[in-house]
Chain A
């Protein structure tokens, strides 16, 4: 075997490009064994380095957005409360109502056309907007008419075709949410989204929903 062919064989063995039978055919090769041992050492050193970095990160104070992230995760991970079940039931009922109101012609019932989307229901909100983020995602922004202070918001994004939930975020303090770029890439061109506003005790103060084209 020429030096070049041998190098190619060793390279393929070390980069995972040899099948098991091919590797077995190479047999005991001193040079390859030494290189594999070296790669294992590097793997070990790399793993220790990753652990060191994670430990370093763990020791850090709170990172930007950590509180918001933690709230969302806790809310999603928590078993569904009675309030969420009731909210889901209300959403189903309001969907039926909306369908009833908007069936037939192009009319949208008493819905108001706002910000390029159609406000399907809920006078509690005066603005529901989807805008392209300069960083590649989509920013959802909402404004309630008379929100409680402090206010909390639950936002649900749905596929308008079947009503299936694409993403839901709960217990937000702010009035904007950036849709994750990887998720948006796979979403339909038009989505339906709903916002509910609550006071600090969890009482719902209003609901708004819109269907809008996703800015790309």
Chain B
């Protein structure tokens, strides 16, 4: 479970260190407790460490939002957390760079951070139906781009 503190530290660093070391320590405790409670839902479809990643991201995102009291920092987290451009055709940024910022955020939160639409809506301070609409539009846009290439 040491990976939890390391994931939090790594993601915090990528987001521009919005949390201090002391805040990260507290967050590690909170996240471990969350994971402990969610452990019965682990189905073994991914490595345990990879499964914990989702909770680390959610807790970090919520902590930054509480601290900043503004959704704008979330945008920074999502943007900065995305891998750099040119990471090869298989990278998720290869897909998302063709979309509007909001569509890219929704698809990123859905597929990379593995969040539910309810969680995405909370993160983006919007409704679940709006998140779903952006998701659908984003997917359709990617499909059209692929059609154009064929």
A65 contacts B28, C-beta separation under 8 Å: yes
Q: Does A137 contact B (CB under 8 A)?
A: yes
Q: Does A173 contact B (CB under 8 A)?
A: no
Please give me the residue from chain B that is nearest to A52 by CB atom.
Answer: B83
A53 contacts B10, C-beta separation under 8 Å: yes
Query: Measured between alpha carbons, how far is A51 from B53 in the docked complex, in Å?
Result: 9
Query: Measured between alpha carbons, how far is A54 from B10 in the docked complex, in Å?
Result: 9
Q: Which residues of A contact B73 (CB under 8 A)?
A: none
CB-contact partner of B8 in A47, A63, A178, under 8 A: A63
Query: Measured between alpha carbons, how far is A23 from B39 in the docked complex, in Å?
Result: 31
Contact mask for chain A residues 121-144; partner B; CB cutoff 8 A; 1 contact, 0 none:
000000000000101110000000
Q: Does B100 contact A (CB under 8 A)?
A: no
CB-contact partner of B2 in A7, A56, A69, under 8 A: A69
Query: Measured between alpha carbons, how far is A71 from B83 in the docked complex, in Å?
Result: 33
Query: Measured between alpha carbons, how far is A10 from B30 in the docked complex, in Å?
Result: 38
B7 contacts A57, C-beta separation under 8 Å: yes
Q: Which residues of B contact A60 (CB under 8 A)?
A: 6, 9-10
Tell me the chain A residues, 174-213 only, with Cβ under 8 Å from chain B: 178, 180-183
Interface residues of A, CB < 8 Å — how many?
46
Distance in angstroms from B5 CB to nearest chain A CB is: 4
A66 contacts B6, C-beta separation under 8 Å: yes
Q: Which residues of A contact B143 (CB under 8 A)?
A: 31, 34-35, 38
A42 contacts B53, C-beta separation under 8 Å: no
Query: Measured between alpha carbons, how far is A43 from B111 in the docked complex, in Å?
Result: 5
A42 contacts B8, C-beta separation under 8 Å: no
Distance in angstroms from A114 CB to nearest chain B CB is: 25
Q: Which residues of B contact A65 (CB under 8 A)?
A: 5, 21, 24-25, 28-29
CB-contact partner of B142 in A16, A38, A51, A63, under 8 A: A38
Contact mask for chain B residues 92-113; partner A; CB cutoff 8 A; 1 contact, 0 none:
1011000000000001001111
CB-contact partner of A54 in B9, B29, B34, B53, under 8 A: B53
B9 contacts A57, C-beta separation under 8 Å: yes
Query: Measured between alpha carbons, how far is A57 from B2 in the docked complex, in Å?
Result: 10
CB-contact partner of A15 in B6, B25, B117, B142, under 8 A: B117
Point out residues on B near A: beta carbons under 8 Å.
1-11, 21-26, 28-30, 32-34, 46-47, 49-50, 53-54, 66-67, 83, 90-92, 94-95, 107, 110-114, 117, 132-133, 135-136, 139-140, 142-143, 146
Name 21 interchain pairs, CB-CB below 8 A, sorted by A.
A7-B136, A11-B132, A14-B135, A15-B132, A35-B139, A38-B142, A42-B107, A42-B110, A43-B111, A45-B90, A53-B7, A54-B7, A57-B9, A58-B49, A63-B6, A63-B9, A65-B21, A70-B2, A73-B32, A181-B30, A182-B30
